[in-house]
Amino acid sequence: MTDSVVTLLRQTLDPSLSKQAESALKQAETGQGFATQLLQIVSDDGTDLPTRQAAALFFKNYIRRNWAEDDVDNRVPPADRQLVKDNIVGFMTKMPPSLQIQVGEAVTTIASTDFPAKWEGLIDDLVRHINPNDTAATNAVLQTAHSIFKRWRAQFRSDSLFLEIKFVLDRFCQPYLALVQHADAQVAQAAQHGDARALEASCQQMLLLTKVFFDLNCQDIPEFFEDHLANFMDVFHKYLTFASPLVDPQDEVSQAGVLQRLKASICEIVALYTQRYEEVFTMLSEFVNTTWTLLTQLSQEPKNDILASKALGFLTSVVRIERHAHLFSSDDIQRQFIELIVLPNMSLREADEELFEDDPIEFIRRDLEGSDSDTRRRAASEFVRALVEKFEAKVTGIVLSYVKHYLDKYAADTSAWRDKDTAMYLVSSVAVKGYASRVGVTSTNLLVDVVDFFNTSVLPDLQAAPEARHPILKVDAIKYIHTFRNQLTKQQISGAFPLLAKHLTHPSYVVYTYAAVTVDALLTIKRDGQPLFTKQDVAPLAEQLLSNLFGLIEKASTPEKLAENDFLMRCVMRTIVASAELIAPATQLVLDHLTRILTEVSKNPSNPQFNHYLFESIGAIVKFVGSISQDAVAQLQSILCPPLLALLSNDVTEFIPYAFQLLAQLLELHQGHGLPPSHAQLLRPILTPTLWDSRGNVPALVRLVEAFVRKGSETVVAEKLVEPILGVFQQLIASRANDHFGFQLIETCYAALPQDALGPYNNQIFVLLLTRLNSSRTEKFTSRFIVFFCFVVHLRGLNWLTTTLDSVQQGLLPQLLGGIVLPNAQKLVTPTDVQTASVGFTDMLFGGQDSLSPQAWQATMTASLKLLELPAIESKGESVEDLLQMDLDDSGTGAGAGGPGFQASFAKLSTARPPARPIFADTADPKAYLASRAAAALQQPATATEIAQRLGALPQDAQHLLSSYGVQSK
């Protein structure tokens, strides 16, 4: 089989054969031994490197897709799992670096689920493969260790986390210290002998060691590190001043080399120790002095940017500690810091201007306030803000004196536009005191009048003709509005809107993009909890804004270039959302543009963020226009269904989950009899089992099938599609990852399909559920089963459920009720689940009491009262205001890594969320429902006596609660 796998891997490198080869590999991966075969191919020196690289990439993606034990049937057989874990580290250390990267990522993926509980030998294995005489192998081990440990940086403190860290420390600390000392000696030896290759590798090892140091110390300072802190800090301090042309060539000015990255990593470590462990960090003042000297000597070359940023970050953390702030307290020192460190790092450089012209989208991503990019300007601004926190009046005075100096120079000579640019940055740095990435500046320095500065120095640049101001000053003016949007009045911002719309036609890429970014931000402003701009404010501007934005997007010559600027598409989305249903007159025009863009980018999806905003824009049109009338729905279907169906027929993998969501949204809006023709053709194809194999498709597919069942139940029955739908249910319910979707689907089937349509399958449905409940129960599955149990009680009655369960096993109801349903009911947390369970319990108590013994009846009542008395969790409906605040991050919109074995991920469209539906229309208030059912039972001669007796036998506190609901037992 190995030879056939090698052949298929080679075919994946041939564009004409790759699709079939990848499909064949995916079929082969279900077999025993597939994972170990791939690993052997990757590590086989006799196989050509391109094939080994293809194997490494497929192996990494195979592990990502299949390793997590989400399903009852594990995708990677247990024997393969153990073989992989036993051999992967040893194989990896013997591979070329290009292969080590891919396999190392696979190790990280495995560790994320198995370590330490199911992979106790991992750390010992890593330590065993540390070889001081083999730098490449040791670096591979360190890189893998870092990729595993770095997840600790973002995790919340917990007992389990500290146990995991202790597990590592107990095995790793001693060899780690020895390796630091050995690497330090290797650097010295290589530098002494002028061995550039050895010095590069040893410095790279020291860099990895500093990253691991941060990982091991990120949550708390381990005792071992506190005991040996001097050993570590002496080494780190030395490297802040270490220099060698062998690893820092003078002709390299753009890319940070290993030495810059090593020093930056050390600055991160000392910043961590300053912020978290300052009481034991006795060398802090030495590091401050060394860092000050380092910053004054750093050149302005881009290769030093990350180092300058991290060094400034360290000084910023020192300033913010009260007992060290005195180091910066004198007027002379403050002025030196501003003049020698802040101003050089805040001034625009030639490299910045080149980036502005040559790679504008990268310039924007780095420059945006709230960006994660490490830039000199941002770090210098944060340093100024830290100084202002401690010495507000003095530092503000110093900075504003420089602002005046630069503005005066520009006023005397407008060619000195760089001076005004610096002044603009200085004002923002000294004026901002509080900032939140989603809402902008929250508080300002009262010694700086930001509104007056807007009127005198910003507005004139906005009003000036394009040729009268350098584009960077235009950007500065627009960015000022973006930064201080919460401080400006509605009148000032309203006056700026037409100017911003006009700047969407500016010839500079950065200018028009910043205009779009700022319009987007302004539309999200809230004052007193309400949007500052209503749909009535936005609608008159919408057509011009959208026309300009579409013109910018569609002028691109290739699909990749068209999708490059996601800021423009996000502004399109926000404009549509802010206009709400008032966008309706422009529906045809807007959708013509959106569908053209969709058709073009589908040829080569390249920017997940852009794509997501594109589909959100379409979803917003459907949401708001589709709510107006059925004629509007028909218009939307006629425009959108053809391009959406084309995505499915062309198998545009990244877009298929989006297409299903929009098709479901359109179908949910349909109110006519039967299914619209555009959708009817889809019903049978979407039940094809292979479609459901891609996890990214499942949430949207379930929603679409549910919509078909609700809107076209007659068609489902007539076309004999009940059984295929139940086949999907069976597949979903067997998966730990997707079982909740299975419950969602079967509940819809019971609610929407005729009772006799499911009649032949009731026994089998419950057999599947009970088998899973017995064989591989999880807390999530149990909770969903309880909700389903109560759902069908309300829908069909307790007698129906009793009969159905007896067909599986006689007397099953009391066992389930006493062993599963009642003991776990208190674990339900969502309002919908609590309501469903409460209603179901009420129906059992007052509609099926004959099936319950007095003890079971009382236990059910107790469980019901406990549920009803749970603290209410607000179930907030979605509004236009919520959509306006919608933001997206990379994790929600990425489709995952490409390459063989790629699967699209699911990214939920906020604008296409399904409408909130009451579970049971007649039971909105579960307490009132209980009272009404109890009253009805007490009025029925056949049940009144028994119910009164059972109510009277309840404990006093239960009777008091029931009385408060309006239940009277007498």
Give residues with Cβ within 8 angstroms of 45, minimum separation 6: none
Mean residue pLDDT of the chain comes to 90
Most distant CA atoms of the chain, gap in Å:
104
Q: What whole-number distance in Å separates Cα of residue 894 and Cα of residue 657?
A: 12
Say how many C-beta atoms besides its own lie within 10 A of residue 479's C-beta: 20
Q: Are strands 526-527 and 530-531 parallel, antiparallel or unpaired?
A: antiparallel
For the chain, give the percent of residues with pLDDT over 70. 94
- What's the mean pLDDT in 403-413? 96
Lowest mean pLDDT among 191-205, 316-330, 550-564, 591-605: 316-330
For 244-257, the pLDDT digits (tens) are 998 888 777 888 99
Q: At what angle do helices 360-367 and 350-358 cross, to 10 degrees?
A: 120
Give residues with Cβ within 8 angstroms of 859, minimum separation 6: 817, 818, 822
Q: Can you read off the two tokens belonging to residue 367?
A: 């420059």
Say how many C-beta atoms besides its own lie within 10 A of residue 147's C-beta: 19
- HSE (side-chain half, CA atoms, 13 Å) at 467: 0
For 597-610, the pLDDT digits (tens) are 999 999 999 999 99
- pLDDT on residue 902: 38
For residue 735, give the DSSP letter: B
- pLDDT on residue 901: 38
Whether the per-residue pLDDT at 612 is higher than 90: the answer is yes
For the chain, give the percent of residues with pLDDT over 90. 76
- pLDDT on residue 601: 97
Binned at pLDDT 50, 70 and 90, residue 770 comes out as very high
For 322-350, the pLDDT digits (tens) are 888 888 889 999 999 999 999 999 999 99
CA dihedral of 754, 759, 761, 764, whole degrees rounded to 10:
130
Q: What whole-number distance in Å separates Cα of residue 293 and Cα of residue 407?
A: 30
Whether the per-residue pLDDT at 964 is higher than 70: the answer is yes
- What's the mean pLDDT in 28-35? 87
- pLDDT on residue 733: 95
Q: What whole-number distance in Å separates Cα of residue 5 and Cα of residue 2?
A: 5
Cβ(847)–Cβ(930) under 8 Å?
no
Q: What whole-number distance in Å separates Cα of residue 247 and Cα of residue 261?
A: 11
Give residues with Cβ within 8 angstroms of 234, minimum separation 6: none
Q: What whole-number distance in Å separates Cα of residue 84 and Cα of residue 107?
A: 9
- pLDDT on residue 274: 96
Binned at pLDDT 50, 70 and 90, residue 673 comes out as confident
- pLDDT on residue 27: 84
Q: Can you read off the two tokens belonging to residue 206?
A: 């020291």
Residue with tokens 């099953």: 812
Q: What whole-number distance in Å separates Cα of residue 328 and Cα of residue 319?
A: 7
Q: Can you read off the two tokens belonging to residue 893?
A: 């919109």
- pLDDT on residue 371: 60
Cβ(10)–Cβ(51) under 8 Å?
yes
For 772-811, the pLDDT digits (tens) are 999 888 999 999 999 999 999 999 999 999 999 999 999 9
CA distances from 534 to 403, 491, 527, 573 (A): 37, 14, 12, 16
- pLDDT on residue 895: 37
Tell how far CA 542 is from the center of its chain. 30
Q: Can you read off the two tokens belonging to residue 516?
A: 């779009």
- pLDDT on residue 942: 84
Give residues with Cβ within 8 angstroms of 686, minimum separation 6: 660, 701, 704, 705, 708
End-to-end CA distance of the chain: 78
CA triplet 580, 584, 586: central angle to 5 degrees?
A: 115
CA distances from 135 to 49, 150, 245, 600, 884 (A): 22, 22, 21, 48, 53
Strand partners, 436: 440
Q: Are strands 440-444 and 432-436 parallel, antiparallel or unpaired?
A: antiparallel
H/E stretch holding 526: strand 526-527
Whether the per-residue pLDDT at 903 is higher than 50: the answer is no
Cβ(73)–Cβ(27) under 8 Å?
no
For 123-180, the pLDDT digits (tens) are 999 999 999 889 989 999 999 999 999 999 999 999 999 999 999 999 999 999 999 9
CA distances from 497 to 485, 633, 885, 923 (A): 12, 32, 19, 48
Cβ(477)–Cβ(492) under 8 Å?
no
Q: What are phi and psi of 814, to 5 degrees?
A: -60, -35
How would you label 631-643 residue by residue, b for 16+ Cβ within 10 Å and e otherwise? ebbbbbbebbbeb
Whether the per-residue pLDDT at 430 is higher than 50: the answer is yes
Whether the per-residue pLDDT at 451 is higher than 80: the answer is yes
- pLDDT on residue 326: 85
DSSP state letters, 215-246: HHHSSS--HHHHHTHHHHHHHHHHHHS---TT
- pLDDT on residue 873: 54
Strand spans (E) along 661-782: none
For residue 442, give the DSSP letter: E
For 60-118, the pLDDT digits (tens) are 999 998 888 655 446 788 889 999 999 999 999 889 888 998 999 999 999 999 999 99
- pLDDT on residue 900: 37
Q: Can you read off the two tokens belonging to residue 333?
A: 């020192």
Top pLDDT among 28 and 506 is at: 506
Cβ(906)–Cβ(612) under 8 Å?
no
Report helix, strand or coil for 444: strand
- pLDDT on residue 893: 44
Whether the per-residue pLDDT at 892 is higher than 50: the answer is no
